[in-house]
A and B are shown apart, each in its own frame.
Chain A
Amino acid sequence: MSELWEEFLENGKIERFPIIDMHCHMGLFYGSHMPYSDPNTMAKRMERAGVKLIVFCHHHMLFSPEIGNKINVEIARRYPDRFRAYCGINPNYPKMVENDIKTFNNFKDVYVGFKLLPDYHRVPLSDKRYEDVFEFANENSLIVLTHTWGGSIYSGAEEVEEVLKRYKSLILLLGHSLHGDWESAVKLAKRYNNAYLDLCAVLDERGVIERFIKEVDLDRIVFGTDFPWFNHHYYIGALLGSGISDSICEKILYLNAKKLLT
Chain B
Amino acid sequence: MRLEFFDVNVWIGNLMGDKYGISITSEDLVRKMASLNIKRAIVYHIYQRDIHPDVGNKILIDEISNKPSLYGILTVLPFQIREIKDIDFGELKHQKIVGFTFFPRRHNYLLNKITFGDFLSELEYRRFPVFFDLLSGFSVNYQDVYDILNDFPKLVCILCNIGIWNSNRYTWPILDKFPNVYIDSSLLSLYEGGLEETVKRFGGRRIVFGSGYPERYIEASILQLVHSEISEKDKERIAYSNIENIIEEIKYE
Q: Which residues of B contact A241 (CB under 8 A)?
A: 217-220
Q: Does B189 contact A (CB under 8 A)?
A: yes
What is the bound-complex CA distance between A234 and B216, given in angstroms?
11
Q: Does B65 contact A (CB under 8 A)?
A: no
Check B197–A35 contact: CB distance below 8 A.
yes
What is the bound-complex CA distance between A49 and B229, given in angstroms?
12
Q: Does A137 contact B (CB under 8 A)?
A: no
Check B217–A203 contact: CB distance below 8 A.
yes
Given A9, A32, A210, which contacts B20 in the complex, CB threshold below 8 Å? A210
Q: Does B166 contact A (CB under 8 A)?
A: yes
Interface size class of B (residues with CB under 8 A): 35 or more
What is the bound-complex CA distance between A208 and B187, given in angstroms?
18
Q: Which residues of B contact A34 (CB under 8 A)?
A: 166, 192-193
Q: Which residues of B contact A254 (CB under 8 A)?
A: none
Q: Which residues of B contact A229 (CB under 8 A)?
A: 165-166, 191-192
Check A207–B21 contact: CB distance below 8 A.
yes
What is the bound-complex CA distance between A9 and B20, given in angstroms?
27
Q: Which residues of B contact A203 (CB under 8 A)?
A: 217, 220
Query: By the criterion of a CB under 8 Å from any partner CB, how many residues of chain A are at the interface?
Result: 39
Check A237–B22 contact: CB distance below 8 A.
no
What string of 1s and 0s marks CB contacts (under 8 Å) between B193-229 and chain A? 1101100000000000000011111111111101111
What string of 1s and 0s marks CB contacts (under 8 Å) between B22-36 and chain A? 100000000000011
- Asked whether A234 and B169 contact (CB < 8 A) given A204-B190, A206-B20, A229-B192, the answer is no
Q: Does A205 contact B (CB under 8 A)?
A: yes
- Asked whether A228 and B192 contact (CB < 8 A) given A31-B165, A206-B22, A210-B20, the answer is yes
Check B191–A207 contact: CB distance below 8 A.
no
Q: Does B19 contact A (CB under 8 A)?
A: yes
Q: Does A231 contact B (CB under 8 A)?
A: yes
Cβ of A179 to closest chain B Cβ, rounded Å: 10
Q: Which residues of B contact A63 (CB under 8 A)?
A: none
Q: Which residues of B contact A104 (CB under 8 A)?
A: none
Which residue of chain A has its CB nearest to the CB of B166?
A32
Q: Which residues of B contact A31 (CB under 8 A)?
A: 165
Check A237–B223 contact: CB distance below 8 A.
yes
Cβ of B36 to closest chain A Cβ, rounded Å: 8
Given A1, A36, A201, which contacts B192 in the complex, CB threshold below 8 Å? A36
- Asked whether A238 and B220 contact (CB < 8 A) given A211-B20, A229-B166, the answer is yes
What string of 1s and 0s marks CB contacts (under 8 Å) between A10-50 and chain B? 00100000000000000000011111110000000100110
Q: Does B164 contact A (CB under 8 A)?
A: yes
Which residue of chain A has its CB nearest to the CB of B211?
A241
Q: Does B112 contact A (CB under 8 A)?
A: no
Q: Which residues of B contact A210 (CB under 8 A)?
A: 20
Q: Which residues of B contact A52 (CB under 8 A)?
A: none
Q: Which residues of A contact B229 (CB under 8 A)?
A: 48
Cβ of B151 to closest chain A Cβ, rounded Å: 27
Check A231–B214 contact: CB distance below 8 A.
no
Cβ of B224 to closest chain A Cβ, rounded Å: 4
Q: Does B168 contact A (CB under 8 A)?
A: yes
Beyond the given pairs A49-B227, A231-B194, 18 more chain A to chain B contacts, judged by CB atoms under 8 angstroms and listed by A's residue number, are A9-B2, A9-B223, A32-B166, A32-B168, A32-B169, A35-B196, A204-B164, A206-B20, A206-B215, A233-B220, A233-B223, A233-B227, A235-B220, A237-B217, A237-B221, A238-B219, A238-B220, A241-B218
> What is the interface of chain B, defined by CB distance below 8 A to chain A?
2, 19-22, 35-36, 164-169, 187, 189-194, 196-197, 213-224, 226-229
Provide a sorted-by-A list of 16 A–B residue pairs whose CB atoms are within 8 angstroms. A9-B223, A33-B166, A33-B197, A45-B193, A205-B215, A206-B213, A206-B217, A207-B20, A231-B190, A231-B224, A233-B228, A234-B224, A236-B223, A238-B217, A241-B217, A241-B219
